[in-house]
Amino acid sequence: MRTEQSVKKLALAAAVAACSLNAHAGATVSFGEDKSISVGFGLRFSGSAVEDAATNNKNYSSDFSLDSARIFLGGSLNKYISGFFNTEKDGDTIKVLDAVVKFTIAPEFNVWVGRVLSPSDRANMAGAYYSLGGGYWQSVASRYGYNGGIFRGRDDGVVVWGQVADGKLSYALGVAEGHTFGIGALTQSQAKAAGTGSKDSFMYSGRLQYDFWDAEPGYYGTGNYLGSKDILAIAIAGRYQKNGVLTGDPVTPTPGAKGDYGSYNIDFLLEKQIKGYGGVSFEAAYYDYDTDNLIKSEEGKAYSAGAGYVFEQPVGWGKVQPFVRWQRFNADNDVNSKAYDVGVLYIIDGYNAQISATYRKFKSSGGLSTKVDQDSFTAAMQFQF
């Protein structure tokens, strides 16, 4: 009896992990016990007007953009082995986003192998499709998705993760190929071959999170639960790579300076359902980036915060969530960048169907850079099928 209960528990854990990753609609075809194939796709489309961004540098620009177009593929061999393969557009080409085999040993111990997003902050783990107000809004403060990696922060490697204490305590440890930061996204082997004197070192990463209220399932996180959960979570994450920062010219090659890359962050999320009224949410994060004093424009401290309120009563097809967001990056080259967002999200079907409107003010000043004070307005829609 105990063995049967354990097997059922494992099956449930595998299902929960799959659902947390693939919360989009999609279609699943079963062809045997615990064997299945799933397929889906998603897109984000926006229209924007940006101050002084027209070709004459004086008027607002007027642009439409297909920001994202993804194909989601998943499969399961049995209770313990499954996987997923996701793509994303890059300009007019399609690239591999994720390609992962998942070994679900137990809720406390899972192993993912392949091209995957390394453990990092909540904003990066949630990505463009599962964040407050929609889109990858923390492009100023959360820089994990841009510092190295193959594509959109992904890298080839292994992630071990699990949840203990009734799912309240989550851990994730990652070892990845690692890509240099500074002279280009080279693997350490490529950097060594280019004569940079770099060691062929892995990138190591980790994340530890505790949920005081509802437990959050899965590895890839969610930035906001749209009023559906009571969340009080705090986490710390970090990354380190020996000789992960290089300067010089990798083509010539002209050897330059080399140093270690390191970063860490602390992030916080609070969401509370208010019976009969809706749900309120608050989030905040702190970041510290270190490039061994080699690239001071990407070294420094960053901060972000956001708040939203979901009204319980639907309006037409869905619910309304007004939100505000703020972020700041104080780089060690004395350039300070800030962004303020005010917007409203129309939630038709969770993260499967949303429409948003956002006003942003972006400011940057200090150092030798040109002072920037720019307003923009963006209307976007997101669908996952």
The more confidently predicted of residues 210 and 13 is 210
Q: Does 322 fall in a domain?
A: no
Q: What is the pLDDT of residue 368?
A: 74
Query: What pLDDT, in 10s, does the model give residues 63-93?
Result: 999 999 999 999 999 999 999 999 999 999 9
Containing domain of residue 39, as a range?
2-44+66-295
Number of domains in the chain: 1
Q: Does 381 fall in a domain?
A: no
Cα distance between residue 167 and residue 99, in whole Å: 26
Q: What is the pLDDT of residue 259?
A: 87
Q: Does 30 fall in a domain?
A: yes
Let me know: does 306 contact 324? Beta carbons within 8 Å.
yes
Q: What is the pLDDT of residue 1?
A: 40
Q: What is the pLDDT of residue 290?
A: 95
Q: What is the pLDDT of residue 197?
A: 66
The more confidently predicted of residues 177 and 381 is 381
Buried b (16+ CB within 10 A) or exposed e, 154-188: bbbbebbbbbeeebbebbbbbbbbbbbbbbebbbb
What is the DSSP secondary-structure string of 120-188? --HHHHHTTTSSTTSS---TTT--TTTSSSSBTTEEEEEEEEEEETTTTEEEEEEEE--B-BSS-S-BH
Q: What is the pLDDT of residue 55?
A: 85
- Mean pLDDT, residues 315-343: 97
The dihedral sign for the CA sequence 44, 144, 268, 171: positive
Query: What pLDDT, in 10s, does the model give residues 136-149?
Result: 899 899 988 655 57
Q: Does 350 fall in a domain?
A: no
- Mean pLDDT, residues 290-311: 94
Let me know: does 371 contact 365? Beta carbons within 8 Å.
yes
Q: Does 311 fall in a domain?
A: no
Q: How many helices and strands (H and E) does the chain possess? A: 3, 17
96 has pLDDT over 50: yes
Query: What pLDDT, in 10s, does the model give residues 30-66?
Result: 988 889 999 999 999 999 999 988 888 889 999 999 9
Q: Does 83 fall in a domain?
A: yes
Q: Does 164 fall in a domain?
A: yes
- Where does residue 228 rank: exposed (0-12), middle (13-18), buried (19+ CB within 10 A)? middle
Q: Does 156 fall in a domain?
A: yes
